[in-house]
Every structure is written in structure tokens, then in C-alpha cells.
Amino acid sequence: MTRLPLFRPLALCVVAAAGLASPSLQAQATVEATFAGGCFWCMEPPYDKQPGVSATISGYIGGELENPSYEDISRGGTSHAEAVQVEYDPEEISYSQLLDIFWRNIDPFAVDRQFCDVGDQYRSAIFYHNEEQRELAEASKTDMEARFDKDIATQIVPATAFWPAEEYHQDYYQKNPVRYKFYRFSCGRDGRLDEVWGEEAGGPEF
């Protein structure tokens, strides 16, 4: 009787285990960053075009109401902010680079508003997920205050439960490009970004 080499079952187990481990290892390569910069429709595009960003998700964060709807947020009083959650590979793009993009897509001096949208649901904020993100966010805010010699209104707070917005809000700028461009223009977003940031408005593309 022919015997199979003893190493083969062990080798097959190793290969199988490696195959099972791959999705987990791949998942660990992606981390999250969460930014509020007014209307979440406008915060997706600058991140979607960046290498290393695998997804942007519009949603709500910062309040206690569970599973809030857009109508809940629009009425105000829930303490949530419209935000975008960025899933990215830190080997391809750093958190500091994501912060560079964030600042140049907001009005950092506006309190409880961004451009034509008024209310604390449109406040600017950085929601950090760990201590490293907090330190980098605070350092970047300090740099911005030094640059402008002016107080920055943007909050830096711990990330809480993030609730994805309704499906029609996701990738709105791609699904409804004409309406998106009209809203963005009529809200004065680009005009104000040009006033604050000049040629840097909209942020770099890495």
C-alpha cells in the first residue's frame, strides 16, 4: 500500500489556515477616520479621489438618539452632526494627510454652521478613534490657529456611535451630479473656501 508523505496533511492545514486568516489580516489593514464638515455630500468627493481610501460613508455622529433619520437631524436638537466616515489604508495615506484634506474643505471659523447650512448638526468636528488620532488632530488645530492667528471653532472629540445615513445620501454627488453642483454653488461653499484657503481650497490630492 502506498503511503502519503506525512508532511502533506500538515501542509494542507497550514495552507487552509492561511486562507482563513487572509480576510482578517486584510480587514486589519483598513482603519477609520471620521470628520464633520457641514453637508456630508460635500465631504465625500475630496476623500474618494485619494489613493488608499477604500470607502466614504455619510452618516450621523455625536448624539444619543439611536438610528437617527435625516428628518431627525434636520430638525436639530439631537446633538448629532452630519459627518463622513473614511475607511483608509494607513500604508497608503496617513491620518495627517486626511487632516490636511479636512481643513481645506471647511470654514474653520464658523460656529454651529458651515456655509449656508445653519445649526449644530452642521458644525465642524474631528471625531478621533484613538489616542494617536487625538494627538494629531490637536496638533493640526494648533497649527491652524498659528497660521491664521485666530481661534478655530472646529471641535476635537471622541468618536461615538456612527449611524450611516439613508442610501440616497450615499455618493449623492455621483448619483445626482446636477443637483449636487447646484446645491454646492448656491450654498456658497466654494466661494468661501477660496476666501479662506486660496489656492489650497479643496485640499491636496496625494
What are the catalytic residues? 39
List the helix and strand counts (H, then E) for the chain. Answer: 8, 8
Residue identified by cell 490657529 is: 145
Residues in a beta bridge with 183: none
Please report, for residues 121, 135, 155, 171, 183, the alpha-carbon distance to residue 71 in angstroms, rounded to integers and kept in the order given.
12, 34, 24, 19, 18
The owner of cell 494617536 is 132
Q: How far apart are CA 55 and CA 96, in angstroms?
A: 18
CA 9/CA 90 separation, integer angstroms? 37
